[in-house]
Structure 1
Amino acid sequence: MKQETALTPDVLRDAEERARELIRCGFQEPDEIAESLVDELDDQGVTQEEAERIVAPLWQERLAEQASWPETTDVDRLEEAFDALEEQDIVAAMDFTCCGSCGYEEIGGEADEDSRGFVFFHQQDTEAAAAGHGLTLRYGGFRTTEEPTALSERRTAEIGREVVAALEAVGLPVEWDGSPSNAITVTPLAWLNRLPE
């Protein structure tokens, strides 16, 4: 039996749709998704209790859908490529920070002394991929402040080529023109990311 809610039909519909989007992304736990709903919709009366009540059946619905998924999904392949890049001393971070600016600012904190470069996609990229728009990857080489720009661009392009090679090695389709100024796109991509256990 469906529980009564104090939310208007429009707010309830918006909250359910937002919860579905975050569940499709596949990186957050149910309580984190509920907190996100409260953060985004508290001015419309969504409380923590309401948010948890909205998330619970949608989470179960997604778990049921997962039963029919292929054994290896595109997101599994993506994770395999990122693991391989980590082994090549490239920091590879999935669903990292809220946006590109924060990602570029914070990725150095994930590096160790052997790290040569990085690749990441942020939470907005995840949402775009989950909505069927392909996945944008940001990448680069770690540089010293005295390093000439030309050398930095060559290193970034080299990291880009390694990222593309790792993605292609696991069978993912990649679009990139070879320019260190342009992002790498994985498309088309079926975003089937299993929920955290």
Structure 2
Amino acid sequence: MKLLNLLLIVCLVQSGCDSSQNQTDVTPPLTEKKRLLTAPVHKQKDAQMSLDAEVHKEMDWLVRSGFYDKTDLMRVFCEEMYAPGDLDETQVSAAIDARLAAHRGEQENWPTVTDCDRLDQAFERMEKRGLITIQNAGNTQTDGYEIFQVYLEEHPQPDTVIGYCFYHNQDLERAVGGLPLYLAFGPVDPQDEETKGVEIGNIVREELERVGLEVEWEGTFNDRLRVPGMVWQRR
């Protein structure tokens, strides 16, 4: 009996008996279609708790970005950024109303033409030169390129498109916070990046500088263009 018990103990120690250290975590593939305005990561909160500093900080930059209205913001905070039911919707609604009103008040002191207006003008000029331009395109460069491909498929004259220029949500957040705005660019066909990528980059640089925005760029496809010193004021 003692020998049997000893053998059982040795077996348990060696096998780990379903120990988590012997298991491999498997992440299911992402199949949900991406949206342009999205904040997909749920943050854990105690149910119906008061809005804390983190919520107000996120709300502040999203409002100042100029891309989100009341409906967008309610969806972001009550369905996407936080799980449904985690935040009190009445409190969220009141906080959004207050921040939107403050943002409208700030606009009274803005110049007639802002840096964001100049950026819009530059993007419009790029479109006339054959680029598809996208602002706030997903959350990553991969998102942005996938969205570009969708726009290309829907373009009325796809043969006239020679490339793209976009910035994504993380680029936007940094720019709203006072850091340089980073822009991704490239030709339609990724196989042409080394031969035509610089050509597209020069179009982007020329149009940004034409409207009065400063550009930093090393002149290669592997270096993203940057717009430093940009004051983010989007109505």
Decide: shared fold, TM above 0.5: yes
- Range of TM-score over shorter length: 0.7 to 0.9
Structure 1, residues 167-187: CA drift from partner, whole Å, max 9, x if none? 000010000000111100011
Asked if 1:122 is matched to 2:168, the reply is: yes
Secondary structure at the counterpart of residue 92 of structure 1: strand
State which of 128, 134, 145 in structure 2 corresponds to 1:104.
145
Which residue in the other structure is 1:3 paired with? Answer: none
State which of 188, 191, 194 in structure 2 corresponds to 1:142.
188
The residue identity in structure 1 corresponding to 2:93 is E
> Structure 1: 5+ residue runs without aligned partners?
1-5
CA contact (8 A) 2:187 2:200 kept: yes
Give 1:134 shift. Answer: 1.2
CA contact (8 A) 1:154 1:180 kept: no
Which residue in the other structure is 1:93 paired with? Answer: 134
Which residue in the other structure is 2:71 paired with? Answer: 31
The residue identity in structure 2 corresponding to 1:50 is Q
Which residue in the other structure is 1:177 paired with? Answer: 218
- Structure 1 distance, partners of 2:234, 2:99, is 15
State which of 92, 95, 110 in structure 2 corresponds to 1:51.
92
- Structure 2 distance, partners of 1:166, 1:189, is 15
Give 1:7 shift. Answer: 3.1
- The TM-score with structure 1 as length reference comes to 0.86
State which of 124, 141, 144 in structure 2 corresponds to 1:83.
124
State which of 154, 163, 166 in structure 1 corresponds to 2:195.
154
Give 1:44 shift. Answer: 8.2
Larger radius of gyration: 2
- Structure 2 distance, partners of 1:13, 1:71, is 33
Secondary structure at the counterpart of residue 49 of structure 1: helix
Question: Percentage identity across aligned positions?
Answer: 26
Give 1:42 shift. Answer: 3.7
- Structure 1 distance, partners of 2:83, 2:145, is 30
Bigger relative contact order (CA 8 A; separation at least 6): 1
Aligned-pair Cα RMSD in Å: 1.7
Structure 1, residues 69-128: CA drift from partner, whole Å, max 9, x if none? 000000000000000000111111111122211112221221231110000001111111
- The TM-score with structure 2 as length reference comes to 0.73
Secondary structure at the counterpart of residue 175 of structure 1: coil
CA contact (8 A) 1:15 1:54 kept: no
State which of 50, 61, 65 in structure 1 corresponds to 2:106.
65
